[in-house]
A and B are shown apart, each in its own frame.
Chain A
């Protein structure tokens, strides 16, 4: 049996009230009031599709031995790198081994399901045992555009395999069309779209039913057989019409989180699927339809194992862990739409030394420190000479991963001098319970909530953006562990 063995959903912590955007930009496009309901999830200043993919991917790993994973696929149309394997960065951050097949899926917004199906094909064929599929998106709409209001940032991830399957893959039906409802050229920063009415009536209105009917026929199923129908369509009226035409009962219509997150591109139907899995009962059938350059419809059936399955890394947990981003211009600066002055200090040029990055890839991307084989002392970053003065062994270290550890704040500050697009730069020393200590940047927090002794977990983040070369560098930051009700 092949299918989903585990999943993770990730929504960035910051939510921008759409009315704030409208209040600032509505003068330019008053009709946008129709899109100004609710909130959009926005990646923090140090997040992008890679970091969100890692966040979701870690949740999907859910304690699994990384050595059992032999594939890592990433899907996104907002890959930070055009050349340099984005999935390779994700795989290293997830702590996976080197003997894996890592691949990027991009282009159309159905790339998420394409990655999922490729993983499914591989495990069904027995070519791979476990493949982690991460899907993340952070698309930009121009200020005052409908897309600025409609889009939101999110990520989802799945472990696809043959053991401990919680949702069995039953089949799929694919449609591919060169339907350019939204497009971005090779140098585009912002999304462009054609007329809404055409997208709604020809795109969603025709392709979604075509894909669903195609799948139902192929699997000899009826729409009533599904506990949840999960499909991408952010047009409310069109959605109501499709539900009626297709016979989707209100309780089977999976929320698209338009009011809580926004349209999240490749991640859209995938995030919805993780949400449906949270409440699925054994025997429940789930129908998932992605949209973008065609449609892909997938059928899953929850197994008995889903009852015992537990994972705290859900979309609902992520949604509950929210903070208002009460400042539209801050969002603009974070996304480099508004070039705020960070000061001369930020202009000192230090560039990525790729040979050093290669040498340090396990430490930098995977947060591997070392453990002394003689005395057992944990140390971060990896050391050649053991820091334990009683030991001092040289060259006796083995790799030891810190990424999943909980640490405690030993000291902290909020720095207004350090160049940052999100001042003050909050950072401090983190000590780990079983040993090891390092100075980390803190993120997803405010200075006024920091306390010595508080627990922190680690999160893979963008460490710097090198504007001169147009590239991002990554490392791990500490995030206060929040009590989420």
Chain B
């Protein structure tokens, strides 16, 4: 009987590039940059890596298909290298595969790396059309990511009777908080603090999402080397270990997009993935037990409804938590402590590992005092890949013993 991943894998080292408009770098350069930091942190040499899982999302302006281009770029020495791809959960999937490979006893030391180069399209936002299926070309709405997520707001307003003005206020608070956090982080893409009034006055991208409700479209890479707790402890004798407490994924069944039970105001997958993750980690009261989190804040409205779906805010009651500062850096459960997708940036295939990096550096108290979350013991990361009506939710919970 399977008993889950809890405490079977530890993080030996991590790396994360500065995110942003890295006009000087290819994806291959970014991956190498993250790997160098990661190896140094892990205190091992590249040849000690026994297997690698690499994640990228968009083929066309990135490294192309398969794992081969990154294996070649990083000069990984004839080890098994496998590409993972699952929309915005791509890097978390690489991490999950690496953890499972270790937990299975197949390998001792495994690399998980995510990278994305988005800034070679010539325009803002994610690349249009490139990943579109033949059927969505023929029948899909003329949509963009902001427009698909924006609909959460109109549906949430209809479901809970929260006015669009209140939603706009909450979204502005969310983005202001992430900008404040990002401003403290030298590796973040967007580092300017902005006021809620500035946020609300920004040009509309997709009603009701304005420019500041949308996350940064960035280049970047992040990676982790995982191993068994025993090996980690032998290599890091004087350091607390960051262990994997839970890894949980849920993928849409078609019910949201085709069936009639979903009201469009929340993420069915996130609710299921969160419930399963808490069970795996042995968490009974996430609002009290989770010290901090990196939720998938591709858009401010996504973060808003996600905080309910993670079972931290009561259903229909997130507005009060947000406005009361519960998710601010000094709040009850600080959220997007490194700036989040919103300001640290969102290179699709790297984001999951960047989030894990944010939890890792906090748990090991490696960040400056000004952005240190006090007494952090458990951190949660959450990715939402795809669209609200058809997606993958991926959650990891990391912690100290």
Contacts and interface: CB of A to CB of B under 8 A. Distances in A.
A447 interface: yes
Interface stretch (B27-35, B50-58, B125-133): B125-133
Contact of A453 (B158, B209, B253): B158
B155 interface: yes
Given A389-B255, A452-B157, A427 B260 contact: no
Contacts of B209: 413
Given A345-B128, A379-B258, A413-B207, A475 B139 contact: yes
Contacts of A419: 128, 142
A381 B146 CA distance: 23
A411 B151 contact: yes
Contact of B155 (A353, A417, A439, A452): A452
B138 A357 contact: yes
A348 B58 CA distance: 14
Interface in B117-151: 121-125, 127-130, 132, 134-135, 137-148, 150-151
Nearest to A435: B260
B205 A353 contact: no
A380 interface: yes
A447 B150 CA distance: 13
B139 A416 contact: no
A452 B159 CA distance: 10
Contacts of A350: 129, 132, 137
A424 interface: yes
A447 B207 contact: yes
**Residue in B130, B142, B206, B389 with the greatest tally of chain A CB atoms within 10 Å:** B142
Contacts of A452: 154-155, 157-158
Nearest to B214: A417
Chain A contact residues: helix, strand, loop or mixed: mixed
A360 interface: yes
Contacts of A415: 142-144, 146-147, 150, 205-207
Interface in A11-52: none
Contacts of A385: 254
A350 B134 CA distance: 9
Chain B contact residues: helix, strand, loop or mixed: loop
A300 B121 CA distance: 61
A442 to B, nearest CB: 9
B206 to A, nearest CB: 4
A173 to B, nearest CB: 46
Contacts of A261: none
A360 B138 contact: yes
Given A389-B255, A414-B207, A425 B147 contact: yes
B345 to A, nearest CB: 18
Contacts of B157: 452
Contacts of B253: 387, 389
Contacts of B206: 413-418, 424
Interface in A370-411: 377, 379-381, 383, 385, 387-389, 410-411
Contacts of A411: 151-152, 154-155, 158, 264-265
Contact of B139 (A344, A345, A364, A453): A364
Contacts of A464: 137, 142
B368 interface: no
A473 interface: yes
A377 B255 CA distance: 12
B302 to A, nearest CB: 13
A439 B258 contact: no
A330 interface: no
Contacts of B82: none
Contact of B147 (A346, A417, A438): A417
A410 B123 CA distance: 31
Contact of B205 (A383, A389, A416): A416
A418 B260 contact: no
A436 interface: yes
A428 B124 CA distance: 22
A356 B138 contact: yes
A472 interface: no
Contact of A441 (B123, B141, B146): B141
Contacts of A440: 141
Contacts of B155: 410-411, 429, 452
B276 to A, nearest CB: 17
A328 interface: no
A222 B140 CA distance: 57
**Residue in A343, A410, A440 with the greatest tally of chain B CB atoms within 10 Å:** A410
Contacts of B208: 413
Interface string B250-272: 00011101111001110000000
B158 to A, nearest CB: 4
Contact of A427 (B121, B127, B135, B142): B142
Given A360-B139, A410-B263, A415-B147, 18 more contacts: A344-B122, A345-B125, A352-B137, A356-B134, A363-B139, A385-B254, A412-B151, A412-B154, A413-B154, A414-B206, A416-B203, A416-B205, A419-B142, A427-B142, A427-B143, A429-B389, A447-B207, A452-B154
30 contacts: A345-B128, A348-B130, A363-B139, A385-B254, A388-B259, A389-B255, A411-B265, A412-B151, A413-B146, A413-B147, A413-B150, A414-B204, A414-B206, A415-B147, A417-B145, A417-B205, A417-B206, A418-B144, A419-B142, A425-B142, A427-B142, A427-B147, A428-B154, A429-B151, A429-B155, A431-B260, A438-B258, A463-B142, A464-B142, A475-B139
Across the A-B interface, give the 4 residue pairs with the lowest CB-CB distance, nearest first: A415-B147, A411-B151, A427-B141, A411-B155
